[in-house]
Structure 1
């Protein structure tokens, strides 16, 4: 992708897109602002008009990644459906975004961990992730689970299973929707109340 003259908003978008590709390819630590500038066709100093630092740019890329996945999850959910169906839909929306549509952005979320970053950046990344996790927490809170099932751990187990598909998924196998439904049903089989 090469930069073309356009309004400042699209310049910022072009920088975020280029940064996402570079961060996904080389990782945060190995990526320089010069690398990103090269992808956009801009001078390295021009990036600082839009972002004061690589850290600030990474936070913007991470927020965009979370937003893309959140949008996909929300679009997939039928608010009128029962909680189990909504959870399958949410999981499917997550995997569709991560594996099919926004894999470059998803790779950043899956491979860059907040604890390895400065306190300021870590807090921003955690805040982004909490916004995404809240979509699932709200549904899990409504599930008819057996007494004694810890809903926080249940949700984290599901999200961990879903996130790990980014590592092992290969096109040509089961589609994301089938994977999502299978994972939700695996957890449901052992933890749902008998009549649900």
Structure 2
């Protein structure tokens, strides 16, 4: 039996099934048939996502997915094209759902630092949720075929563009490389499940600690800035002050 997706799970919307073996139809499906097909495909995506998350990509076969659904393996191909395309779809929808949550968290904020804190808090909550599929699916990248890996990397680049744009807007000291800053920040957030144990600090408090550490570079610069001159005025403190921006993907690229 499949379990319903919680908000951390991919918000899977059924798409028309791509079939290898479906018979030709002389008449279009009725509304009730379409509803049944959509519900069945929803169940397939949910069950497959759970198996991929718990067993990994290599250890999950089409036969196992079909058995979990009470189907013959051949019948499953009526709804999907291949294991590879099924996994890519589930992975991408998980990241889309995570991106949607982060964009919602960013919406009330205009300050670059407030936006960074909101993004850190939301991503950490997603990654630490016991029912989240985002982290297990992201951790399978080394076990997938090259063509699948390329598709996953493309989607992750789009997802990371959220943080890339946030970091580009931060008033960081000119000595801080923004790419290195972003990579380390995402590594800390995305591996939180490896080191976090519930106890003295809540998830929100941990997120605040991470944010404070990554803002500490700015605090240090503020403390050493000449009187009357803030670090925001330093050359290269932001994209508009002294540090030319390298070509980046726009936020729109992440949302499409």
TM-score interval (norm. to shorter)? 0.7 to 0.9
Residue in structure 1 matched with residue 214 of structure 2 by the alignment: 187
2:126, 2:134 within 8 Å by CA — same for their partners in 1?
Answer: no
In terms of fraction of residues, the more helix-rich structure is 1
Superposed CA deviations along residues 60-100 of structure 1, whole A, max 9, x for unmatched, are 11112111211111121135331111111011111222222
The 3 A distance-change label for structure 1 pair 24 and 80 is closer
Instruction: Report Cα offsets for 1:139-158 as digits up to 9, x if no partner.
Output: 10000001121111100100
Residue deviations 1:6-42 (CA, integer Å, cap 9, x gap): 5323322221211111111111111111111122233
Larger Rg: 2
Q: Is there any run of 5+ residues in structure 1 with no aligned partner, and where?
A: none
Q: For each residue in 1:161-187, what CA deviation from the matched residue of structure 2 results, as whole angstroms up to 9, or x when unmatched? A: 001112233345533222222112112
Question: Residue 126 of structure 2 corresponds to which residue in structure 1?
Answer: 97
Indicate conservation of the 8 Å contact 1:21/1:104, yes or no. Answer: yes
Residue 127 (1) aligns with residue 154 (2): yes
Q: Is the 8 A contact 1:73 1:93 kept in 2?
A: yes
Distance change in 2, residues 1:87/1:56 (3 Å): same
- Runs of 4 or more, structure 1, over 6 Å off, are none
Equivalent of residue 27 in structure 1, options 56, 67, 71: 56
* Cα RMSD after superposing both structures: 2.3
Contact 1:20/1:61 (8 A) holds in 2 = yes
| Counterpart mapping for 1:41-120 below 5 A | 41-100=70-129, 102-109=131-138, 111-113=139-141, 115-120=142-147
Question: Secondary structure of the residue that 1:49 maps to in structure 2?
Answer: coil
- Assess, with a 3 A threshold, how the Cα gap between structure 1 residues 54 and 116 changes in structure 2: closer, same or farther: same
Query: Residues of 2 paired with 1:169 and 1:42: CA distance?
Result: 39
Which residue number corresponds to residue 197 of structure 2? 170
Structure 1 residue 136: Cα displacement:
0.7
C-alpha contact 1:55 1:121 (8 A) present in aligned 2 = yes
Number of residue pairs the alignment of both structures matches: 193
